Structure 1
Amino acid sequence: MAIFIAILIAFFGAVLAHIFTKGQSKKRKYIIWGIANMVAIGPFLSFAIGITYAIIEGNGWAAMLMWVLYPFIFLIGLIQLIIGIFMKNSANKNSYKYH
């Protein structure tokens, strides 16, 4: 049951990030997806994968896999966030085409 709830929370985090980025600039998409990866997707997905692996192996110590997975997912989200923060907004250059 806990695995299902963790997967459900990660899924809802991804869905909310997708909804919030619809129609936004590329810069805003990187920022939102970075935060979603660090806060909503990373911890719950690594928990679900770690516990599932521990159940398959039959060893409780195998659940420590989540301690290895979460930093990688967090770093991916942090890189996305940093890219989004420092990216230049290129939408201003093309805004005069349609006037």
Structure 2
Amino acid sequence: MAFVVALLIVLVGLIAAFQLSEGRSEKGRYIVWGIITMIAFAPFLSFLIGLTYGMTVRNGWTATIMMFLFPLIFVIGLIILLLGIYKNKEEDR
């Protein structure tokens, strides 16, 4: 049941990111995708990957891969967010 809930949260985050970034500038898209990556994707995707790998290998200690995946995905989202914040708007030509 926990897998289903985590997967639903990731899918809802994906749909929300597409809906919220539609019609925005490139700068706005980066900001939306960065926030969604940090809030929805990082914790729940690392949970899904870590526990799935742990169940496949049949070793509980392998689920600690979540501790490495969460900060990695979170930092990727933070980089995307910072790109959106500090991106210069292109002037009309």
Give 1:89's aligned residue. 89
- Aligned identity (percent) is 45
CA RMSD of aligned residues (A): 1.0
Answer yes or no: is 1:53 the counterpart of 2:36.
no
Q: Please list every run of 5 or more consecutive structure 1 residues that lacks an aligned counterpart in the other structure.
A: none
1:63 aligned onto 2:63: yes
Point out the structure with max Rg over C-alpha.
1
Mapped partners of 2:2, 2:37: distance in 1 = 20
Residues 31-64 of structure 1 deviation map (CA, whole Å, 9 limit, x = unaligned): 0100000001111000011011111111111110
CA drift at 1:7: 1.2
Partner residue in 1 for 2:36:
36
- State the AA in 1 paired with 2:5: I
Q: Distance in 2 between matches of 1:65 and 1:7?
A: 18
Supply the AA of the counterpart residue of 2:49: I
Where does residue 3 of structure 1 map in the other structure? 3
Report Cα offsets for 1:39-91 as digits up to 9, x if no partner. 0111100001101111111111111011111111011100000000000112x
CA distance in 1 between partners of 2:68 and 2:51 (Å): 13
Please name the residue that 1:19 is paired with: 19
Local SS of the residue matching 1:24: coil
Q: How many correspondences in the alignment?
A: 93
* 1:8 Cα offset (Å): 1.1
Do 1:11 and 1:41's aligned partners in 2 also have CA atoms closer than 8 Å? no
SS at match of 1:30: helix
